[in-house]
Amino acid sequence: MIRLSNIEKRFGDLTVLKGVSVTVAEGRVTALIGPSGGGKSTLLRCINLLEIPTSGSVRIGEEELAFQPGGKPAWKDIQRLRGQTGMVFQNFQLFPHRTAVENVMEGLVTVQKWPAEKARERAMALLHKVGMAHKADAWPATLSGGQQQRVAIARALAPSPRVLLCDEPTSALDPELSGEVVEVLGTLAAEGTTMVMATHDLRLASRIAHEVVFLDGGEVVETGPSRKLFTHPERERTQRFIATLTQQGQQGEGV
């Protein structure tokens, strides 16, 4: 279970998150949606402390950290919380000088000190899961964007994190390649992987997410089951945003 309580995040005089509270149940998928600058990526990064909240608290499983303005938690506490998460970035961020299998192995060998043989076995199993075992020895530069993102998902899953965090996992891909990634994430969701994703991709959010949180101006405007929020949003601001997403999706399909 993940619980974010009264998260505030300030960058100087700019307040990006204003007392945001979100709960994600074990085995569920929550999509964070909203306009650019609305706070969804910042909130996602606050979960694994790539951004340190100005105030509030973050709980993942049994681990919890509270934050106060002007204070910063100890590095060991940050690492303990962060170690329960896996992160999938918008632009893949694979090591260009490592093959696909080596990218997946890297954290297991260097951070968790696994023996190379055991790490390779784990990495190959995950590449098989995301449909990339046949590209295990390929360099990232030779892979399509969709293939690179699938390797990145395998890498994020390697240490068996409690939650998979996805920051706009399909936004750098064209519709055909993003379909590969949606398929993989859909399989993980069906297997009960706990996920939180920030996304503009209506297809991804509506297909995979159990719950949706709509953020605008650093605040939660509306939250609820994905089917209900995407088809019958209660707030007028949410209605306008969903209509925009739907229109963009239809234009994309027509191209």
Domain final residue pick, 134, 160, 186: 160
Residues 153 and 177 in one domain: no
Residues 165 and 249 in one domain: yes
Burial of 84-122, coded b for 16+ CB within 10 Å and e otherwise, reads bbbbbbbebebeeebbbbbbbbbbbbeeeebeeeebbeb
The pTM of this model reads 0.91
Number of neighbours of residue 174 by Cβ within 10 angstroms: 13
Residues 50 and 110 in one domain: no
Tell me which residue range forms the domain holding 117: 91-160
Domain final residue pick, 160, 192, 214: 160
Number of neighbours of residue 133 by Cβ within 10 angstroms: 16
- Beginning with the edge strand found earlier in the chain, give each strand of the sheet holding 55-60 in spatial order: 14-24, 2-11, 55-60, 63-67
pLDDT tens-digit map of 194-204: 999 999 888 88
Average pLDDT, the chain: 91
The CA distance from 50 to 43, in Å, is: 10
Share of the chain above pLDDT 90, in %: 77
What pLDDT does residue 252 have?
Answer: 55
154-163: average pLDDT: 94
Residues 80 and 165 in one domain: yes
pLDDT tens-digit map of 124-157: 999 999 999 999 999 999 999 999 999 999 999 9
Residues 167 and 250 in one domain: yes
54: left (phi over 0), alpha (psi -120 to 50) or beta: alpha
What pLDDT does residue 204 have?
Answer: 87
Tokens of 222: 């509306």
81-96: average pLDDT: 92
Residues 153 and 96 in one domain: yes
Residues 95 and 135 in one domain: yes
What pLDDT does residue 130 have?
Answer: 94
User: Does pLDDT of 254 surpass 60?
Assistant: no
User: Does pLDDT of 187 surpass 50?
Assistant: yes
Residues 60 and 151 in one domain: no
Residues 80 and 182 in one domain: yes
Residues 49 and 169 in one domain: yes
What pLDDT does residue 198 have?
Answer: 95
- Identify how many contiguous H helices and E strands the chain contains and give both numbers: 9, 10
Residues 195 and 125 in one domain: no
Domain final residue pick, 114, 133, 160: 160
User: Does pLDDT of 255 surpass 80?
Assistant: no
Q: How many domains does the chain have?
A: 2
Predicted confidence band at 249 (pLDDT cuts at 50, 70, 90)? low
Residues 114 and 97 in one domain: yes
42-62: average pLDDT: 94
The DSSP 8-state label assigned to residue 209 in this structure reads: -
The CA distance from 88 to 76, in Å, is: 22
